[in-house]
Structure 1
Amino acid sequence: MSVDAQTKPRQRFEWVRDFEFGATSLVYRKTGVRVPYSKPIRQEFIAWLRYFLAVRRETRRMPGAFTIAFSPDPGRPWYQMWSVARLAGGKLAPAAEADVVFHFEDATMSPNAPPAHKPGAKLINFGCTDISKGRVEQAFAETFGYSLSLNPTLHIGPAVEKSELNAAHDGRIVACPVIPAPGKTYQRVVDNRIEDGLIEDLRCPMVGGKIACVFVKHRPVATRFSNTNSFVKVMTAEQIFTQEEQAKIGEMSLRLGLEVGGLDVLRDRNDGRIFVVDANKTDMGPPIALPLQEKLKSGRMIAKTFREYVLAHFPARGA
């Protein structure tokens, strides 16, 4: 059985209850995010549904490699780990019986202890309890030796102001000096512009300190802080980063306790340095703008790395 097939048939789509449906929008109860019933959202839903169904078809009869539980929240289908776990051969089990117990909560602060689990179980991400912008910047500076943050009352010139909370997508450029707003962090503006008035973000899915692949994402400069991309392609870490950069990104991920998750990296076109600006332990994805076959390709790449990472904990089973 697959990751969501151990429930009774009528319960397979119980995740629908995670949403509150209104006349003009729906609300994801966990995070409070409101999603309007707009044409772009409907198109994104259709693109996601195609990927969801393709993964279900591909993994329906896939033999199991390990059992996995998510805690305290379930890994729902719109999160990247849902497809990664399935494609890696993971089969859902109660936490007390699972080979792998994955810390899963879509929150900036999540100081959760592992649930009761069997001896020898692989625990993932329980050391990752804080992914606020301040904590990410601290880990970045400690790892790379240079900083992203700045003092908005002393800095003269442009700066990025954004929420300390994860996935807020509320960044904006402000002119400093400025009095800091509550709950906001201030960082240097990384010039990640490319040609044709676009910027480039590098989303790195991380597994055990290794970059499983890179989502190269382009969008207009005017909407640089949004989560809607004009173009996305999948590349390998070797195509994007030097070996030293890969090692530093992996070191930073583990410094955060982020064994499995995602890091957002920007490269400054003026000095060539990279800056890790965000971390996420409950990535949604793959990116909607990817064609279906590229979505599946990236899912398999991450799943292969995840399977190897998990099975290294159980050497008798082999990879």
Structure 2
Amino acid sequence: MMGWLDYFRAVGPRITWDRSLMRGAWTVPWLQLTGWMSRPSDTGTIAYFPQPAGPWYTLPLALMRTGIRRTSDLGKADAIMIFDDRTQSNITLPITTARLINARATDVSKTQVGRLFEAIFDYPLTLDPLVHIGLMVEKSDTNGVHDGRIVTGPIASPRADCVYQTLADSTVRDGVTEDLRCVCVDGEIVVVFRKEKATRDRFAPTYLETTLREAASVLSDHERANIAQFCEMIGLDFGSIDVLRDHAGDGRIYIVDVNKTCMPVLSMPVRELNKALHQIGVAVEALILRP
């Protein structure tokens, strides 16, 4: 209960109440209970800084299924997760000998994502709206807004607070698009949440169906290697990246979003969620305990 109260006291004014969060009101306690029932012996400790991590976030839920215990004492933690849900952060890191997770992930704006993506994949995500001719995606440079929309370029007066991206047509069948949410630990894709959306809701956090996939079943060896390099360059030790494949075009993938304080897809079956959280927890535990 204290985890819930600490989080709401710290960041309550920034919370957006939507259907996903309301579903979490009963799903998260169930996931906590199943995690507590299967919890093994203690192996180490983790602290969150500068924000407390709400109990519904992926990492606290995943680590409940491992021997890693949560502590509020930074001095006694084996690992410290730099938990800051702002798009850009500028905090003073604690002086510690603990392993720091995501300490280098200080900028996950879409501008930064686009810059690093093109440097690694050698084709652009970000477009110049003043000169691009044709369809493109306009969206806020700030994470978590879900305000994407399709526009036609060139645009004489582009919005200064937005980025303009390649329109990856991820249509898999009539009226349905696909998103791949890849949960990454130390550059490795541990699980993939494959989400199907109605085309009309392609930019909204509402899904027709979500299934759990192995990374190798939806991404090539070369693509996974590039994603690992991307995680290294953006400083993402743990988090999720959203990937779209241009099924209707040339088949290439695009990393369109990075989330360093990710939440699980609460709309999927609880049994599948438990499986995914266990896999994520095991991978993060190994990272924390690695010499």
When normalised by structure 1's length, the TM-score is: 0.85
Distance 2:66 2:118 in 1: 33
**DSSP 3-state at the match of 1:174:** strand
| Contiguous gaps of at least 5 residues in structure 1 | 1-11, 21-27, 314-319
Correspondences of 1:38-77 after superposition (within 5 Å): 42-59=22-39, 62-77=40-55
Distance 1:109 1:226 in 2: 22
Residue 2 of structure 2 aligns with which residue?
13
When normalised by structure 2's length, the TM-score is: 0.93
Residue identity (%)? 33
Residue 184 of structure 2 aligns with which residue?
206
Correspondences of 1:131-170 after superposition (within 5 Å): 131-170=108-147
Q: Spell out structure 1 runs of 4+ moving beyond 6 A.
A: none
1:111 aligns with 2:100: no
Residue in structure 2 matching 1:283, options 258, 262, 266: 262
Backbone CA RMSD of aligned residues: 1.9
Distance 1:43 1:132 in 2: 28
Distance 1:215 1:14 in 2: 26
| Contiguous gaps of at least 5 residues in structure 2 | none
| AA of the residue aligned to 2:134 | G
Residue 34 of structure 1 aligns with which residue?
16
Distance 1:205 1:262 in 2: 4
Distance 1:141 1:42 in 2: 37
1:297 aligns with 2:275: yes
Residue 3 of structure 1 aligns with which residue?
none
The CA deviation string for residues 156-213 of structure 1, in whole angstroms up to 9 with x for no partner, is 2111000010111111111212121121000111010111411100001110010001
Distance 1:162 1:205 in 2: 23
Residue 317 of structure 1 aligns with which residue?
none
Asked if the contact 1:169–1:225 (Cα under 8 Å) also holds between the matched residues in 2, the reply is: yes
| AA of the residue aligned to 1:243 | D
1:127 aligns with 2:104: yes
Correspondences of 1:216-295 after superposition (within 5 Å): 216-269=194-247, 270-285=249-264, 287-295=265-273
**DSSP 3-state at the match of 1:194:** strand
Distance 1:310 1:138 in 2: 30
Aligned-pair distance for 1:122? 1.0
Asked if the contact 2:3–2:52 (Cα under 8 Å) also holds between the matched residues in 1, the reply is: no
| AA of the residue aligned to 1:15 | W
Residue in structure 2 matching 1:97, options 58, 63, 76: 76
**DSSP 3-state at the match of 2:128:** coil
Q: Count how many residue pairs are aligned between Structure 1 and Structure 2.
A: 288
Distance 1:41 1:34 in 2: 8
1:41–1:114: structure 2 CA closer, same or farther, 3 Å change rule? closer
Asked if the contact 2:197–2:207 (Cα under 8 Å) also holds between the matched residues in 1, the reply is: yes
Asked if the contact 1:198–1:221 (Cα under 8 Å) also holds between the matched residues in 2, the reply is: yes
Distance 1:72 1:17 in 2: 12
Distance 1:150 1:31 in 2: 34
The CA deviation string for residues 215-270 of structure 1, in whole angstroms up to 9 with x for no partner, is 10011000000111111111111111111111100110110001111111111112
Asked if the contact 1:96–1:116 (Cα under 8 Å) also holds between the matched residues in 2, the reply is: no
**DSSP 3-state at the match of 1:238:** helix
Distance 1:164 1:13 in 2: 33
Structure with larger RCO (C-alpha < 8 A, sep 6+): 2
Residue in structure 2 matching 1:86, options 64, 76, 99: 64
Asked if the contact 1:112–1:126 (Cα under 8 Å) also holds between the matched residues in 2, the reply is: no
Distance 2:176 2:28 in 1: 25
| AA of the residue aligned to 1:33 | I
Distance 2:62 2:289 in 1: 14
| AA of the residue aligned to 2:251 | G
| AA of the residue aligned to 1:197 | G
